[in-house]
Structure 1
Amino acid sequence: MGTRSNLTFALLAASSALAFPAFAQTPTAPAGSAAENGSSAASEPGGLEEIVVTAQKRSENLQTVPLSLTAFSGDTLEKSAVTSIAELAARTPNVSYDTFSPGQPRYFIRGIGGTASGSARDGAIGIFVDDVYMGRPAMTGTDFVDLARVEVLRGPQGTLFGRNVVGGAISYFTLKPDDEFRAQAALTLGNYRRIDGNFLVSGPISDTLSAKVAVSSRNHNGYAFNETTGKDIEDEQSIVARGALRFQPNSDVDIQLNADISRLRATGNWWHLLREGPNSIGKSNADPRRGRNHTDDGFSDVDNGGVSLNARFQTGIGEIASITAYRESTSSTRANTTGLFVAPLTDPNRGQFHHTLFIQQSDVDSSQFSQELRLASEIGSDISTVIGLFYFHENVKSTDITDYRFVSRNSEGRRRFDGRNKTDSYAAFANIAWDVTDELKLRAGLRWSLDKKDHVAVAGGNNFVPYRDGGVIVPGFTAPGKDSWDAFTPSLSINYQATPTKFFYASLSRGFKSGGFSDTEIEKLSAMTAFDPEFAWNYEVGMKTEWFDRRLRFNASLFYTDYTDLQVTVIRIVDPAFPPFGTTGNAGKVVIKGAELEVNAIPVDGWNIYGNYAYTDSNIKELVVGTADLAGNRLGRSPKHKFFVGTSYETEIGGGYKAAARVEYTYSSSFFSSINNTPVELIDGQRSLDLGLTLTTPDDKWSVDFWGKNMTDRLNINTITEVPLRDGYASFLPPRTFGATLRFRY
């Protein structure tokens, strides 16, 4: 049976095995480029591989790109058993990540970040999958089954990207089907009853048509246990399916239809009373991952799906690229964010239990449409240009529900906020590169962005802080609001290729994050009033070098970011008899400066040493929140020191069989979970030791990976939340996990 028949049979079998359609998205590297299905290309014998990226919308060696950029091939992530964005962030300079719940991730790059919470607030970090922007946090969970590569760009982006981002971008590129038949499958077994499985089939159907199907399933029991309900907390069951049809009638046309669908079911995060405040009448559980909690275990239900059409045409005026995409997302998350068990208000012994209860639920339904057009042209032999247009439309409906109980005040109830927002975003961007000489190059870009938002906030239920309309207490309100913002954001860089292996650059760029509205205001006028955009100027110098016949790679950069109109949670005291209330507003000026180093070396054949280090000083110059002056504080989730180091050694063990051992260690110094910088919110240094051993058959078709993560079982903190009485509640990263993965490739 021929290769095409094999693929057709495999596709039909896969389709009949699925209860829903499964098609996926594709990378945006130029057709036929070395970066299509990976980020590496062969280099000097015995030396480091060349890393090929498309951050500037053309295939380039990472060592000649004037950006702070870290790239991982899908093969590299697989060898390190990286299966989540949290593990990826730990391995990347100045990138951090946390979750309020599995469906509410927050991304941070160089201290800039947060979440696109509510219906009308944008994220500072852009997440792209095959050049498609993911507008809501729940959309950004990406499975690693068919990744070609991941590119992490630090600093403002916008003169080459469809959607402007102020802090940085994380771009995922999936494998593209082509005329090579490939199939792979993997089965993972681990502690906490982990059972993961995935398969991928890709290859030609005819001379002009190729296809891909990839499916992944992940399942594990909970990392914590609620003695009240007798159930595990922080379990997970997820399934992701992607597929693609690629049409290439000739070398000038490349059209790909992609689709994907995913489903996540999990309980909420486990929250532990880590630090008891001076007024606390609660008591921590003896075991931070086990104890009495509320009868509500919470949940996280997330469903995503989308289609895109990526088309490229080689014409007489250059390459025209069109990316058309539509996506939908539904997420519903609920968690007891103050942990512990809360007795009924009528219980005479309630003093032995905790005084406050917050069970928070967030439901978000969103849909988005985006259209991007780009033209990449060459003007003579010295000048190249990229010009583009971008349109983004988004509809979001959100509901935030909080069940609360204040034992000390004999008060309980449920508050509810509903938000509805429509966003229309327009942009035009252009970038020009001029090769002044063979060694000296200049690049300049300019972007114009216009964002329009139409918003309605509805406040209701029984809030613990009474709603107000013009100073008058009301049972609730409906508050419409509408606003728009536009901005010009330029970029400029100069780079010098001193030798074939020594590259130097300097750049400046401006970032813009749109304004918006808050869904959770208690005053009608505030709900109708928009907060302003954020702006950041980033200045950077860097070097990318290779030594000793490309056996050592050393890259370094220095950056300085001037950040203004920071969108922060402003604490308001509306009524002294009740806890303060947080709302989004603009305040302050922040200066962020630091250095980043990346090293990779092959001292002898088979032995690889790799790592990176980041130093960051995020100094708040001006920031008044309520009555507190926060000047001198640091940004949240911004450790001063963060490093990752690893080493691996591969050798033949006889009969053609190979063994590869791996040791990796991640570390970050202490940091605060928010800009308030209170002692309660201080997160101590994070550490994790990962180990791995891989055995591979002589034909490279079969392998087994034995892996372990967080082998010292350190209690690393995901995030800490401080409640009004200065209690600190923490959720945690996974404990020690270990297992084995059996892989097959054809």
Structure 2
Amino acid sequence: MKSQAKTIALRGVSTAAIAFSAALISAPASAQIDEIVVTATKRSESVQSIPVAVTAFGSEELEKGRIQDLSEIADRTPSFSFQKADSTEQELIIRGIGTIRLDSASADPSVGLFIDEVYIGRRGTATPPVFDLQRVEVLRGPQGTLYGKNVVGGAVNLITARPEDTFGGALSASYGNYNAIQSDGYVTGPLANGIAGRLAFFQSSRDGYADNIMTGDELENLDQWGARGAVDVDFNERASLQLTGEWSYTENDGQSRYPVDAVSIDGPGTVRGFGGPATDDVRTSNHPFDLFEKTRTYGLTARFDYDMDWATLTYLSAWRYGNASDKFSQSGLASPPSLTDSIVGQYEEYSAYTQELRLTSNSSGPLNWIGGLYYYNETTNREDTNSASSFIFAGPGTTGDILDGTSIYTQSAKTQNLAAFGEVNYDVTDAFTLTAGLRYTVDDKELKNKVNCLDYGAPGAIFCVAPLGPAEDQFDIQTEDDWSELTPKFAAEWRATENVFAYASATRGFKGGGWQGKPANETAALLSYNPETAWTYEAGVKTDWADGRFRFNASVFKTDFSDLQVEVLDDTGLTLVVSNAADAKINGVELETVFQPVQQLQLFGTASFLDTEYENFIDSTGRDLSGNQINRTPEFSYTVGFDFEQPVNDTYMVGARATYSWQDEFFWLPENINFEDSYGLLNGRVSFGPQDGNWEVAIWGKNVTDELYRLGIIPFAGDEFSRYGAPATYGVELSARF
């Protein structure tokens, strides 16, 4: 099936290419693709003229696509996948590189998330909803030179909308199935001479996608709010100040998990063996527990720019805060019928300060440069509670002893990251440019970690659950370490023609080390894992043809990892353990195309092909995983879609838009046992309104084919306790501008 799906997809691409070529012959020259200007290289440049593999979405694209979540950005970006485990953990993976869980307060994500150039160190806990953005930029590959808190896998930049000098605003309201209500809007305009402001809000709520059939509670529901205020001050022609403050709140009544047999493992599985769930509906849970997820985020950012003619001085100062808590059932079942019920509670609090000072040359000559200093200070406090009980108990050392009890991990981590960075571009000729960059990073971390085993088993019990071990292995430790690294970048650009841009680059990325979040004993708690580093070698071409109506971009890359940080399932300790894979390699090809045959119609598509492998990888339990594919990474994925607008008379216009995103099967864990089948998601929108855009009414749908797919699994004893993605949703939306 996998090979057949690829063949069908490739035939579809070939057919589309033939149709594109035929349409190019008769298309009018006036239909051109809009240019998107990005700041991915810390300068304002066209996305088509920078030597970086970057996918960008403008405000109009975000609005028409109803993109309100990082998962929807991932669906439209080559080599980008996203899953959400719970309120404290979002899993961003680019080109096979990503941190699956952040159980440890000292852990770093491999893919960096930035809001107005400010690094967000904890995904989920400190990540606000996606609203009122000017654009989104997704940079693929290591960003070893210009980006604060250097990231090894890639960067997602959320650029918020700025105040405007003229008064205006917009409002939007939507109602859909599951009683989904969403509203958002903004107002902007001048506040005084040289001062403009903007105030935006976002609200979203819905009933649950799933139910707890024992308690009658809804699960997977949502109540979300967000607000952002911004003020821009132009002191004179040289000096400007940008101030931004934001707040968000998200809450629901918990996630639903449903056990299914792992088809790759022989046997009935533990839960199925004891009667299984009460229904065959995967959107149900069956337990007596009250669950929840809550997240709050706050942020303040100040940016000052001063034009000194020969260079621009930029000073960036920011504070971010977030706290998140949740409680979820790992199996979705009580005991019985489950052999054990396991309830996980998490609380995480994050605060961080960012300071960055940089100079950017304003030269019009062949030499351009940028250099700066960076400081980042982060504090993360985290508490993890795992409580389990079993209906089977027969004395110390038996199954009931092993599965019963409560463990509490309390962590506090402090991170200081300092860096000096610079990058130089030199125009050898008008068409050929060389780039060299270097960043020196120092990561200094401290960790306190304490574990208590409470009420484990019956009197005389000897084990503590998660991680499973002798009860006397409780500990209270404090440790610290620091790591430093040089990360260079080399690139060459060639503007072959006005519409053909080619580049080649070699970039090194670095991510600091850390400690286990749930170690089994004091020895394991004090033992740090190493930083991971990677060299990525990439070549790409960005082209525009047919008078700007057909765009085709392609990149090919090879990534070599050393000491890749990998989370593996420790069946003996019943927990996840971070190990350093000795080496790993990732090879890939990425394609992006946009075609506008006529002014009213735009067709677009992306595709990625990835070949991934762990090399010389012996995990912490002694298993040889060498040769396995890197987890959470499909070999092949693609997105296709269209955007159509057509006047119906001199006043009104109809619009239609659809996207279909498909991904190949992938393995959930490095062991390459549990896997997710391939699946595709279809989204669409049809609109009607005046041509001047003053108002619009639209009908929208997401996952309109009601595809069943999973956001994550917890494998245990032949079962996969699964969390499923949203079902088909649809609704009507009314928006207005003034």
TM-score (norm 1): 0.89
Report the residue type matching 1:213 in the other structure.
L
Aligned to 2:396: none
| Residue type at the aligned position of 1:439 | A
Match in the other structure for 2:174? 188
Of 659, 668, 671, which aligns to 2:663?
A: 668
Is the contact between residue 86 and residue 96 of structure 1 (CA under 8 Å) also seen in structure 2? Answer: yes
How far does the alpha carbon of each residue in 1:631-672 deviate from its partner, in whole angstroms, 9 at most, with x for none? 111111100010000012210112410001112111001001
Give, in angstroms, the shift of residue 59 of structure 1.
Answer: 0.9
Match of 2:358 among 374, 398, 415: 374
Query: What corresponds to 2:8 in structure 1?
Result: none
Aligned CA distance change for structure 1 residues 221 and 572 (closer, same or farther; 3 Å): closer
The residue number in structure 1 matching 2:438 is: 446
Aligned pair in 2 of structure 1 residues 503, 291: CA closer, same or farther (>3 Å)?
Answer: closer
Could you report, residue by residue, the CA deviation over 1:118-154 in whole angstroms, capped at 9, with x for unpaired residues?
2100000100000111111124534333100000000
Corresponding residue of 2:552? 554
Q: 2:207 — aligned with what?
A: 221
| Aligned counterparts of 1:251 and 1:588: Cα–Cα separation in 2 | 54
CA contact (8 A) 1:109 1:168 kept: yes
SS at match of 2:372: strand
Name the residue aligned to 1:66. Answer: 51
Match of 1:172 among 141, 146, 158: 158
- Does the CA-based 8 Å contact 1:417-1:460 persist in structure 2? yes
Partner of 1:435: 427
Partner of 1:32: none
Residues 569 and 204 of structure 1: CA distance in aligned 2, closer, same or farther (over 3 Å): same
Q: Return closer, same or farther for 1:72/1:461 CA change in 2, 3 Å cut-off.
A: same
After superposition, the Cα gap between the structure-2 partners of 1:380 and 1:712, relative to the gap in structure 1 and judged at 3 Å, is: closer
Deviation of 1:573 (Å): 6.6
CA spacing shift, 1:567–1:398, aligned 2, 3 Å: same
Say if 1:126 and 1:165, in contact at 8 Å, map to a contact too.
yes
User: Could you tell me which amino acid in structure 1 is paired with residue 441 of structure 2?
Assistant: S
1:519 to 503, 517, 520: 517
Q: Give the Cα separation in 1 of the matches to 2:389 and 2:629.
A: 33
Conserved 8 A contact 1:200-1:213: yes
Give the AA of the match of 2:368: S
Distance 2:122 2:574 in 1: 28
Tell me the amino acid that sits aligned with residue 335 of structure 1: F
Kindly state the Cα deviation for residue 602 of structure 1 after the two structures are TM-superposed. 0.8
The answer to whether structure 1 residue 270 and structure 2 residue 264 are counterparts is no
**Superposed counterparts of 1:121-520, under 5 Å:** 121-275=107-261, 277-280=267-270, 281-282=273-274, 283-284=276-277, 286-343=279-336, 353-378=337-362, 381-408=365-392, 409-411=399-401, 412-462=404-454, 465-466=463-464, 474=472, 476-520=474-518
Query: What letter matches 2:414 in structure 1?
Result: K
- Point out where structure 1 has 5 or more consecutive residues left out of the alignment: 1-42, 344-352
Per the alignment, residue 13 of structure 2 pairs with none
Q: Does 1:101 align with 2:107?
A: no
Letter in 1 for 2:618: V
Question: What do the CA deviations read for 1:427-474 (whole angstroms, capped 9, x no partner)?
Answer: 0100001111110011110000001111111011236854999x9862
Letter aligned with residue 444 of structure 1: A
Give 1:119's aligned residue.
105
In 2, Cα distance between equivalents of 1:598 and 1:247 = 38
Counterparts of 1:453 and 1:288, CA distance in 2: 46
User: 2:586 corresponds to which residue?
Assistant: 592
Q: Is the 8 A contact 2:87 2:293 kept in 1?
A: yes
Q: Closer, same or farther in 2 for the Cα pair 1:79/1:49, shift >3 Å?
A: same
- Given that residues 452 and 475 in structure 2 are in contact (C-alpha distance below 8 angstroms), is that contact kept between their aligned partners in structure 1? yes
Q: Is the 8 A contact 1:102 1:269 kept in 2?
A: no
Q: Is the 1:258–1:307 Cα contact (8 Å) retained in structure 2?
A: yes
2:645 equivalent among 629, 650, 662: 650
Residues 1:623 and 2:613 are matched in the alignment: no
How far the C-alpha of 1:605 sits from its partner, in A, is 2.1
Shift in Å at residue 570 of structure 1?
4.6
Distance of aligned partners of 1:209 and 1:727 in 2 relative to their CA distance in 1, 3 Å threshold: same
Is the CA contact (8 Å cut-off) linking 2:344 and 2:385 kept in structure 1? yes
Deviation at 1:289, TM superposition (A): 3.6
Quick one: structure 1 residues 357 and 44, their matched pair in 2 at CA, closer, same or farther if it must change by over 3 Å? farther
Alpha-carbon deviation of 1:522?
1.7
Pick aligned residue for 2:633 from 634, 638, 641 = 638
**For 1:589 and 1:445, how far apart are their aligned partners in 2?**
25
Describe the SS at the equivalent of 2:437: strand
Alignment CA distance shift 1:544-1:226 (3 Å): same
What percent identity do the matched residue pairs reach? 32
Taking the aligned partners of 2:520 and 2:280, their CA distance within structure 1 comes to: 38
User: Do 2:665 and 2:676's aligned partners in 1 also have CA atoms closer than 8 Å?
Assistant: yes
Q: What is the rounded CA distance, in whole Å, between the counterparts of 2:114 and 2:284 in structure 1?
A: 39
Secondary structure in structure 1 of the residue aligned to 2:608:
strand
Using the alignment, how far apart are the partners of 2:733 and 2:282 within structure 1? 27
What is the CA–CA distance in structure 1 between the aligned matches of 2:591 and 2:567, rounded to whole Å? 33
Letter in 1 for 2:701: G
Question: Hey, what does 2:11 align to over in structure 1?
Answer: none
| Cross-structure match for 1:739 | 731
Q: Distance in 2 between matches of 1:489 and 1:535?
A: 9
**Aligned CA distance change for structure 1 residues 570 and 737 (closer, same or farther; 3 Å):** closer
CA distance in 2, matches of 1:143, 1:416: 30
Are the counterparts in 1 of residues 296 and 322 from structure 2 also a CA contact under 8 Å? yes
Q: 3-state SS of the aligned residue for 2:653? A: strand
Residue 33 (structure 1) aligns with: none
How far apart are the structure 2 equivalents of 1:317 and 1:588?
Answer: 47
Q: How many residues align?
A: 687
CA contact (8 A) 1:467 1:474 kept: no
Q: For residues 467-498 of structure 1, give each alpha carbon's deviation from its aligned partner in whole angstroms, at most 9, with x where no partner exists.
A: 999x9862621011110000000001101000
1:171 CA drift (Å): 0.1
Q: CA deviation at 1:379?
A: 5.0
Deviates more, 1:439-448 or 1:264-273: 264-273
8 Å CA contact retained: 2:88, 2:348: no
Which piece of structure 1 moves more, 391-400 or 513-522? 513-522
CA spacing shift, 1:401–1:503, aligned 2, 3 Å: same
Cα deviation for residue 286 of structure 1 reads 3.8
Contact preservation (8 Å) 1:185, 1:198: yes
Closer, same or farther in 2 for the Cα pair 1:387/1:209, shift >3 Å? same
Structure 1 residues 318-350: Cα deviation after superposition (integer angstroms, max 9, x where no partner): 10111101111111011112112323xxxxxxx
Cα-Cα RMSD: 1.9
1:523 deviates by 1.1
Per-residue deviation, residues 531-573 of structure 1 (Å, max 9, x unmatched): 1100010000000011111110000000100011111235557
The residue identity in structure 1 corresponding to 2:62 is L
Cα deviation for residue 739 of structure 1 reads 0.4
Q: Kindly indicate whether the alpha-carbon contact (under 8 Å) linking 2:312 and 2:362 is maintained by their aligned counterparts in 1.
A: no
Residue in structure 2 matched with residue 691 of structure 1 by the alignment:
684
In the TM superposition, structure 1's runs of 4+ consecutive aligned residues that sit over 4 Å from their partners are 463-469, 570-574
Of 579, 592, 608 in structure 2, the residue corresponding to residue 614 of structure 1 is 608
8 Å CA contact 2:581–2:615 kept in 1: the answer is no
How much does 1:175 deviate?
0.8
Tell me what 2:707 maps to.
Answer: 714
* CA distance in 2 between partners of 1:660 and 1:568 (Å): 46
Q: Report the Cα distance in structure 2 between the residues aligned to 1:572 and 1:82, rounded to whole angstroms.
A: 37
- Read off the aligned partner of 2:712 and give its amino acid letter: T
- 1:525 deviation in Å? 1.5
Is residue 104–residue 137 contact of structure 1 (8 Å, CA) maintained in 2? yes
CA contact (8 A) 1:607 1:647 kept: yes
Between the aligned partners of 2:520 and 2:106, the Cα distance in structure 1 is: 17
Q: Go from structure 1 to structure 2 and tell me whether the alpha carbon gap of 1:207 and 1:250 turns closer, same or farther (over 3 Å shift).
A: same
Q: Which runs of 5+ in 2 are unaligned?
A: 1-27, 393-398, 458-462
**What is the alpha-carbon distance in structure 2 between the residues aligned to residue 286 and residue 494 of structure 1?**
60
